[in-house]
Structure formats: structure tokens, C-alpha cells
Amino acid sequence: MPARAIVADDHPIFRSALKHAVFESLGDNILEASNFGETEALLSVHAEIELVFLDLNMPGNMGLTGLTTLRNNYPDVLVIIVSADERSEIIKKAIDFGSSGYIPKSTPLPLITSAVTQILDGQIWVPEDMMNDVQEHDNSEFKGFANRLALLTPHQFRVLQMMADGLLNKQIAYELQVSESTIKQHVSAVLNKLNFNNRTQAGVMFKSVMNTVE
């Protein structure tokens, strides 16, 4: 049968436990990835994937960058954050940036099974005992940025990432093997969609939002 999900975590024991927890909902047709690069590679060749369980702190993932990258490049794939980080502000930001759920690694396996069922039914899931704390956080500024970020094309999102890393237009053009004029067009479109006056503002905002996980 085609694979329906990817469990992306660098700890093999946890990957095995999570696969066991979601067997009832997804069966055994689940792929595994130990870093973010492997996750992207699997998604690029398995168009049937419906769901990704993504560890915030796995190698190659930096804060919420992996989540936003997957949501931008694979908008039809549901992403569930799985993390040992139980800070309510991080959970809130993950949901605002498109996660379909946030499962702390301390969650009992039977509850994970229930959570996945609810998410596949179209609900957004966070632990009930954390719900009030999560809802109390006012992330209106970040929520607005998340909504505008979703307007970027995959190429524009990649350009934004490289801008945030401090690369110049000619360096981005070299990395992406396109002309500098093409990059200038992408930069202009990014700034317009994100409502920023210059690339420095866009890069600082992107970094401050994405790098929220210690």
C-alpha cells in the first residue's frame, strides 16, 4: 500500500513508539526520517503522503522553519508537531503557522491515537490541559505574518530564507542557478506580500519568528 505518513524524528525508539501509537489510524504504511533533509526527500517522491509528524528539534530543522517550509511547499500535507517542548507560546505559534496539531512527547500513546484520529477528521489538536494557556497568548502580530507568509510561492519562500541568512541577490542567484534579475523580482514580490519596506526588516522578522525553539 502507498505510504500515508512520515514520522520525522532523530530518535529511533521514539519513531517506533509513535508508529505503534498511530497504527490504528494509519496502518503500517508509514515512512521514517531522521533529519529534515530526509523528510523533504521522501515528500518529493511520495505524492501520496497525507501527514507528517515533525520533531521541532531534529537535525536540519530550526524552530518553526521546517513547519513553514513544509506548509509552503506541500500545502495539502498535514503537519503535526511532536516535541518535548511544552511551552504554550511555542504551541500557539506552531498552530498559527499551520500545524494541524501539537503533540508533546510526554503524551500517553493512547491519547496520541485519539489525537491523530481527530486531526484526520479535520480538527486541530493540542492537549486539553494546555488549551487555556495556549489560547491566552496573544500572537496577533505573528498570526498576521503567518497569513502573509502563506501567500509566498515556494521560490519566493526559499528566497526569503536566504535573505534572512544574509545572502546578497547575486549569492542567492548563484545558489538557485537563476539570473540576478530574477532574484530581484522575487525579492520585490516577497517584500510586497509581507508588507515590508526592505529586505532587512523581512529577514529580521523571519528569523525572530522561526527561531523560537531553544
Write the DSSP assignment of the chain as a string of letters: ----EEEE-S-HHHHHHHHHHTHHHHTT-EEEESSHHHHHHHHHH-TT--EEEEETTSTT--TTHHHHHHHHH-TTSEEEEEES---HHHHHHHHHTT-SEEEETTS-HHHHHHHHHHHHTT--B--GGGHHHHHH---HHHHHHHHHHTTS-HHHHHHHHHHHTT--HHHHHHHHTS-HHHHHHHHHHHHHHHT-SSHHHHHHHHHHHH----
Q: Are residues 20 and 81 in the same domain?
A: yes
Q: Are residues 103 and 171 in the same domain?
A: no
Q: Does residue 144 belong to any structural domain of this protein?
A: no
Q: What integer pLDDT is reported at residue 214 of this predicted model? A: 47
Q: Are residues 186 and 113 in the same domain?
A: no
pLDDT above 80 (res 210) = no
Least confident of 54-63, 69-78, 168-177: 54-63
Q: Are residues 23 and 126 in the same domain?
A: yes
Tens digits of per-residue pLDDT, 30-69? 999 999 999 999 999 998 999 999 998 888 887 788 898 8
pLDDT above 50 (res 113) = yes
What is the pTM (predicted TM-score) of this model? 0.79
Among residues 92, 112, 136, which one ends one of the domains? 136
Among residues 85, 101, 136, which one ends one of the domains? 136
| Total domains present in the chain | 2
Q: Does residue 142 belong to any structural domain of this protein?
A: no
Q: Are residues 69 and 94 in the same domain?
A: yes
pLDDT above 80 (res 1) = no
Among residues 84, 106, 136, which one ends one of the domains? 136
What average pLDDT does the chain have?
Answer: 87
Q: Does residue 204 belong to any structural domain of this protein?
A: yes
Q: Are residues 167 and 115 in the same domain?
A: no
pLDDT above 70 (res 140) = no
192 pLDDT tier (thresholds 50, 70, 90): very high
Q: Are residues 125 and 27 in the same domain?
A: yes
Q: What integer pLDDT is reported at residue 138 of this predicted model? A: 58
CATH number at residue 194: 1.10.10.10
Q: What integer pLDDT is reported at residue 96 of this predicted model? A: 84
When pLDDT is averaged across residues 174-199 and rounded to a whole number, the result is: 92
Tens digits of per-residue pLDDT, 147-167? 888 888 888 989 998 998 889
Q: Are residues 171 and 129 in the same domain?
A: no
Q: Are residues 128 and 23 in the same domain?
A: yes
Q: Are residues 78 and 169 in the same domain?
A: no
141 pLDDT tier (thresholds 50, 70, 90): low
Tens digits of per-residue pLDDT, 197-207? 888 888 888 88
CATH number at residue 52: 3.40.50.2300
Range of the domain at 45: 5-136
Q: Does residue 145 belong to any structural domain of this protein?
A: no
Q: Does residue 44 belong to any structural domain of this protein?
A: yes
Q: What integer pLDDT is reported at residue 122 of this predicted model? A: 87
Q: Are residues 122 and 191 in the same domain?
A: no
Q: Does residue 146 belong to any structural domain of this protein?
A: no
The set of residues, in sequence order, having a beta carbon less than 8 Å from that of 166 and lying 6+ positions away, is 203
